[in-house]
């Protein structure tokens, strides 16, 4: 990793603004804007270095969940053509393996893949609430898998967005 990291640089800018610039600005709208900018820069500095690993883990988890769901739906006894079509769409998206040509894709590629995968989760959730799928025997199991992946996604999001505890 390059030192200083982007997160370190952003934290340094925020500190410089707070310590050197802010005291020189009189009370008023400009000072409040600088204070807001410092807060935003500090927040970005804490999250910056965590975003790539967060998206990478999120994508792997969603892909694994969708593979299990797809296999479950493939074995299901259902005449729901929409659900079968969605299962094929999920498999096609999973087989694309966005960024597979590199060991660790760029944040932009990870982000685009995350949006695509979350779109599939939304489609799956909507399909499971549509009339033909409501009678699907595997529906409860799939909904449980979705709740579990959403829970894990929230935990990862908290790890990125919550400030680190104060160091002793």
* pTM of the complete model beyond 0.75: no
User: Is pLDDT at 29 greater than 90 in this prediction?
Assistant: yes
Helix axes 107-128, 139-161, angle to 10 degrees: 150
pLDDT at position 143: 92
Does residue 2 carry a pLDDT above 80?
Answer: no
Give the pLDDT confidence of 8-24 residue by residue, as tens digits.
Answer: 899 999 999 999 999 99
Residue 164 confidence class, pLDDT cut points 50, 70, 90 = low
Assess contact for 13 and 41: CB atoms under 8 A: yes
140 has pLDDT over 80: yes
Instruction: Say what percent of the chain tops pLDDT 70.
Output: 92
pLDDT confidence of 153, banded at 50, 70, 90? very high
The burial of 20, by beta-carbon neighbours within 10 Å (0-12 exposed, 13-18 middle, 19 or more buried), is given as: exposed
Backbone angles phi, psi at 63, to 5 degrees: -60, -45
Per-residue pLDDT, 59: 95
**Model pLDDT for residues 51-108, shown as the tens digit of each residue:** 889 999 999 999 999 999 988 888 877 777 778 888 888 988 898 764 455 677 888 8
pLDDT confidence band for 39 (50 / 70 / 90) = very high
Q: Give the pLDDT mean for 104-120.
A: 91
pLDDT of residue 119: 95
Q: What's the chain look like in SS3? A: CCCCCHHHHHHHHHHHHHHHHHHHCCCCHHHHHHHHHHHHHHHHHHHHHHHHHHHHHHHHHHHHHHHHHHHHHHHCCCCCHHHHHHHHHHHHHHHHCCCCCCCCCCHHHHHHHHHHHHHHHHHHHHHHCCHHHHCCCCHHHHHHHHHHHHHHHHHHHHHHHCCCCCCC
pLDDT at position 130 is: 83
CB-CB contact of 45 with 7 (8 Å): yes
Residue 113: predicted pLDDT: 94
98 phi and psi angles, rounded to 5 deg: -50, 125
Instruction: Find the radius of gyration of the CA atoms of the chain.
Output: 22
């Amino acid at each position: 990793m390059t030192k200083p990291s982007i997160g370190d640089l952003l934290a340094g800018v925020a500190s410089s603004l707070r310590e050197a610039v802010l005291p020189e600005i009189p009370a008023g709208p400009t000072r409040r804007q600088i204070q807001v900018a410092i807060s935003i820069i500090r927040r970005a500095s804490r999250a910056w270095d965590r975003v790539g690993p967060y998206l990478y883990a999120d994508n792997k988890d969603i892909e694994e969940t969708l593979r299990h769901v797809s296999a479950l739906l493939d074995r299901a006894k259902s005449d729901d053509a929409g659900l079968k079509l969605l299962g094929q769409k999920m498999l096609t998206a999973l087989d694309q393996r966005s960024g597979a040509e590199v060991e660790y894709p760029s944040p932009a590629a990870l982000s685009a893949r995350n949006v695509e995968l979350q779109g599939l989760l939304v489609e799956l959730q909507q399909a499971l609430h549509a009339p033909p799928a409501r009678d699907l025997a595997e529906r409860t199991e799939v909904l449980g898998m979705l709740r579990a992946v959403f829970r894990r996604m929230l935990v990862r999001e908290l790890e990125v967005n919550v400030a680190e505890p104060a160091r002793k």
